[in-house]
C-alpha cells in the first residue's frame, strides 16, 4: 500500500521535489502524534517545524510551505534534511493537503464494500454469542466480539471492530475503520467516525481535507444519544477508557479524551484538543481547537475555553477564567447593573 512520490507530484502543480527520489513510496499520511518512517507530514510554520524537530522518527517525507522553507537558515535546513527521506515544497500548503489527501483516501477506502453485507460475502466475523437484530447492516471485514448486542437499524461499516459485551442501541452508525473495545454502550442516533469538519478556503471555494484516521473508543465508555465522534484526519480520534459522553456531544477530528472524562450535554470539543484524565465539562461548554486541557479540571457549564489549562484548573465564563474570578465578575456586574 502507498503511493509513489511521482504520483503525488501529478495531483498538484504547487508541488516541487527538492531532494529524494520520485520513485520512493509514501506509505501513508501522518499527523505529528503518529508520525512514522515513510509517512508524509505537512509543515506550514514554526510551530509545526518545532514539532518535527522533536520527533524521534527519521526517513519521513515532508511537504513544507515554500515561503517558510526559504526563511530557514542553514542550520534549520540541515535539521529538516536530517530526518527527511524527501522534501517537497508547496506554494499553497492548505490546498496541497486537500489534493494529496484524496488519492490516499481512495487508496484506503476505494475498494471497501459497504453495499453487500459482509456476512453474505463471508468476510464478516460475528461471534456466535453476539446478538444481531433484524435490519442491521455489517460491512466487509467487520469483527464483532462475544456477548455484544446490536439493535435494529445500526450500520457497521467496513473494517470496523466491536469488542466484547458492547451494546449499540437502535440506529447507531459506525463508519469505516472504527475500533470499539469491550463493554462500550452507544445510544440511539449517535455517529462514530463521520468525516471531520476540515476544509481549506481558496479562491472562493472550500476545499475538502479527506479524512481517513478512524476512531478508537476504549473500554467501558458510554456515549449518549445523537452524539458525534468524528474520525481523525490522518491519525485516530481517541475516547479514553471509562469516559462518559452525554447526549448531543460533538467530538471533532483528532481529539484525544483521557480516562474517565465526563462531558455533559451539548458540549463541543474542537479539532486536535486534548482533554486530560477525569476532567469534567459542564453542559453547553466548548473547548477550542488544538488546546491542552489538564487532568482533573472542572469546566463550568456554557464556558468557552480558549487557552490551555493546567491540571486541576476550575474555570467558567466566556472566555473561560478561573472560577472564583469569573464568579466575582458576575457578582460585580449584577451589583452595579441594579443600581
Distances (CA, A) of 260 to 243, 264, 296: 4, 13, 9
Query: What is the per-residue pLDDT across 262-313, written as a single tens digit (0 to 9) for each?
Result: 999 999 999 999 999 999 999 999 999 999 999 999 999 999 999 999 999 9
Is pLDDT above 80 for 339? no
Looking at every residue in the chain, the average pLDDT score rounds to 96
pLDDT of residue 283: 97
Quick one: which of 108, 99, 103, 133 has its CA closest to 4? 103
From the list 151, 187, 253, 318, the catalytic residue is 253
3-109 maps to which CATH number?
3.40.1390.10
pLDDT of residue 319: 94
Give the gyration radius of the chain's Cα atoms: 22
Query: What is the per-residue pLDDT across 50-89, written as a single tens digit (0 to 9) for each?
Result: 999 999 999 999 999 999 999 999 999 999 999 999 999 9
Q: Would residue 253 show up in a list of annotated catalytic residues for this protein?
A: yes
Determine the average pLDDT of the residues in 90-113: 95
Determine the average pLDDT of the residues in 38-52: 96
Domain 175-328 has CATH 2.60.40.10: no
Determine the average pLDDT of the residues in 14-28: 95
In the β-sheet with 173-174, what is the strand arrangement from edge to edge? 137-138, 155-156, 173-174, 191-192, 228-229, 250-251, 268-269, 286-287, 304-305
Query: What is the per-residue pLDDT across 313-324, written as a single tens digit (0 to 9) for each?
Result: 999 999 999 999
**Is residue 1 very low, low, confident or very high in pLDDT (cuts 50, 70, 90)?**
confident
Residues 6+ apart with CB under 8 A from 192: 172, 173, 174, 175, 178, 180, 186, 215, 217, 223, 228, 229
pLDDT of residue 334: 87
pLDDT of residue 111: 87
Grid look-up 460585580 returns 332
What residue segments make up the domains of the chain, in order of their start?
Answer: 3-109, 175-328
pLDDT of residue 333: 87
Pairing of strands 191-192, 39-43: unpaired
Distances (CA, A) of 203 to 13, 15, 63, 138, 170: 16, 18, 22, 41, 43
Distance CA 142, CA 187 (A): 20
pLDDT of residue 247: 98
Is pLDDT above 90 for 330? no
Determine the average pLDDT of the residues in 181-190: 98
Amino acid at each position: 500500500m502507498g503511493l509513489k512520490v511521482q504520483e503525488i507530484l501529478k495531483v498538484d502543480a504547487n508541488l516541487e521535489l527538492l531532494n529524494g527520489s520520485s520513485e520512493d513510496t509514501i506509505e501513508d499520511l501522518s499527523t505529528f502524534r503518529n508520525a512514522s518512517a515513510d509517512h508524509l507530514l505537512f509543515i506550514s510554520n514554526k510551530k509545526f517545524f518545532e514539532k518535527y524537530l522533536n520527533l524521534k522518527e527519521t526517513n519521513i517525507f515532508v511537504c513544507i510551505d515554500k515561503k517558510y522553507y526559504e526563511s530557514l537558515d542553514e542550520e534549520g535546513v540541515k535539521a529538516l534534511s536530517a530526518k527527511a527521506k524527501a522534501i517537497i515544497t508547496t506554494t499553497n500548503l492548505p490546498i496541497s493537503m486537500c489534493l494529496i489527501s484524496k488519492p490516499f483516501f481512495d487508496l484506503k477506502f476505494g475498494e471497501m464494500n459497504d453495499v453487500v453485507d459482509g456476512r453474505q460475502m463471508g468476510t464478516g466475523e460475528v461471534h456466535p454469542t453476539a446478538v444481531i437484530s433484524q435490519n442491521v447492516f455489517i460491512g466487509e471485514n467487520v469483527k464483532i466480539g462475544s456477548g455484544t448486542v446490536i439493535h435494529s437499524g445500526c450500520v457497521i461499516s467496513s473494517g470496523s471492530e466491536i469488542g466484547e459485551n458492547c451494546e449499540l442501541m437502535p440506529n447507531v452508525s459506525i463508519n469505516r475503520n472504527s475500533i470499539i473495545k469491550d463493554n462500550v454502550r452507544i445510544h440511539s442516533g449517535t455517529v462514530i467516525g463521520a468525516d471531520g469538519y476540515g476544509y481549506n478556503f481558496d479562491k472562493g471555494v472550500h476545499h475538502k481535507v479527506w479524512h481517513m484516521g478512524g476512531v478508537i473508543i476504549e473500554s467501558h465508555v458510554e456515549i449518549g444519544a445523537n452524539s458525534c465522534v468524528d474520525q481523525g484526519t490522518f491519525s485516530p480520534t481517541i475516547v479514553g477508557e471509562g469516559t462518559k459522553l452525554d447526549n448531543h456531544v460533538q467530538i471533532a477530528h483528532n481529539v484525544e479524551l483521557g480516562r474517565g472524562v465526563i462531558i455533559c450535554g451539548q458540549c463541543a470539543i474542537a479539532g486536535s484538543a486534548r482533554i486530560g484524565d477525569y476532567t469534567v465539562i459542564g453542559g453547553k461548554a466548548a473547548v477550542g481547537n488544538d488546546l491542552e486541557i489538564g487532568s482533573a479540571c472542572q469546566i463550568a457549564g456554557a464556558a468557552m475555553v480558549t487557552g490551555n489549562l493546567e491540571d486541576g484548573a476550575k474555570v467558567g465564563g466566556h472566555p473561560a477564567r478561573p472560577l472564583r474570578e469569573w464568579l466575582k465578575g458576575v457578582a460585580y456586574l449584577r451589583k452595579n447593573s441594579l443600581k
